[in-house]
């Protein structure tokens, strides 16, 4: 999605590949970056480490990504897309019916949690999306776009407050999923169930 404040070209992919061999290299770079993120974290990862892990030279990596933040941006955007596809499929499964959506809030959180947990470096990326200024645009744009999508498909008026409510809902859901992933003292089942109950209570007051 285009941003009101576009990122510098230095933070974006340089050459998205079209040919099969180049696509394979591109995907290998991303897979290596995700693996290293899980092992060494955002602060210690570097393009040289990623290139070594991917079995290519640094100049070969720079053909596709100008720096490590471009890689993080792409991985973060892919994670957001996976989460968004869960939300769209969930909404379509319940035919965008408002009462059914509210009643089935927990499965949405559980499915989004599962997608995130099964994404290589999913938790690290979630933290980076929230904490790194160069990554925050990914999260904000994703939530903005999905709030607009929900407003267009769900039986809500286009009042500005409803758009804000949807943005808050997505942010609260994201926070609950992140907490469920990172805090060993917070069982995922409990965190997701309680978050779903809170969101259900809130939205039942709005209809």
40-59, pLDDT tens digit by residue?
999 999 999 999 999 999 99
pLDDT band, very low/low/confident/very high, at 13 (cuts 50, 70, 90): low
pLDDT band, very low/low/confident/very high, at 12 (cuts 50, 70, 90): low
Does any domain span residue 187? yes
Does any domain span residue 107? yes
In terms of Cβ atoms closer than 10 Å to its own Cβ (0-12, 13-18, 19+), residue 72 is buried
Q: At what angle do helices 122-131 and 133-153 cross, to 10 degrees?
A: 100
Does any domain span residue 177? yes
The range of the structural domain enclosing residue 148 comes to 9-204
Domain of 121, CATH number, reads 1.10.357.10
Q: Report pLDDT for 14.
A: 61
* Residue 171: its H or E element: helix 160-182
Does any domain span residue 157? yes
Does any domain span residue 1? no
Residue 16 has pLDDT above 80, yes or no: no
Does any domain span residue 133? yes
The region of weakest confidence among 61-65, 154-158, 163-167 is: 154-158
Q: Which residue is it, tokens 């200024």? A: 133
Does any domain span residue 3? no
Residue 111, number of CB atoms within 10 A of its CB: 15
* Residue 119: its H or E element: none
Domain count, the chain: 1
Mean pLDDT of the chain: 91
Percent of the chain with pLDDT over 70: 93
Does any domain span residue 2? no
113-149, pLDDT tens digit by residue?
999 999 999 999 999 999 998 889 899 999 999 999 9
**Phi, psi at 6, each rounded to 5°:** -55, 145
pLDDT band, very low/low/confident/very high, at 15 (cuts 50, 70, 90): low
């Amino acid at each position: 999605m285009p941003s009101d404040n576009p990122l510098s070209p230095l933070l974006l992919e340089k050459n998205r590949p079209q040919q099969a061999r180049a696509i394979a290299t591109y995907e290998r770079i991303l897979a290596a970056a995700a693996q290293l993120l899980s092992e060494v974290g955002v602060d210690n990862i570097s393009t040289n480490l990623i290139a070594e892990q991917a079995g290519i030279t640094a100049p070969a990596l720079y053909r596709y990504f100008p720096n490590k933040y471009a890689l993080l941006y792409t991985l973060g955007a892919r994670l957001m897309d996976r989460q968004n596809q869960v939300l769209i499929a969930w909404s379509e499964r319940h035919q965008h019916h408002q009462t059914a959506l509210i009643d089935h809030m927990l499965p949405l959180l559980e499915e989004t949690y599962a997608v995130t947990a099964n994404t290589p470096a999913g938790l690290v990326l979630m933290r980076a999306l929230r904490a790194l200024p160069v990554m925050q645009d990914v999260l904000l744009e994703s939530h903005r776009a999905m709030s607009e999508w929900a407003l267009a498909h769900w039986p809500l008026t286009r009042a500005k407050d409803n758009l804000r409510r949807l943005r808050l809902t997505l942010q609260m859901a994201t926070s609950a999923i992140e907490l469920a992933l990172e805090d060993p003292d917070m069982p995922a089942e409990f965190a997701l169930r309680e978050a779903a109950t809170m969101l259900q209570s809130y939205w039942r007051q709005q209809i």
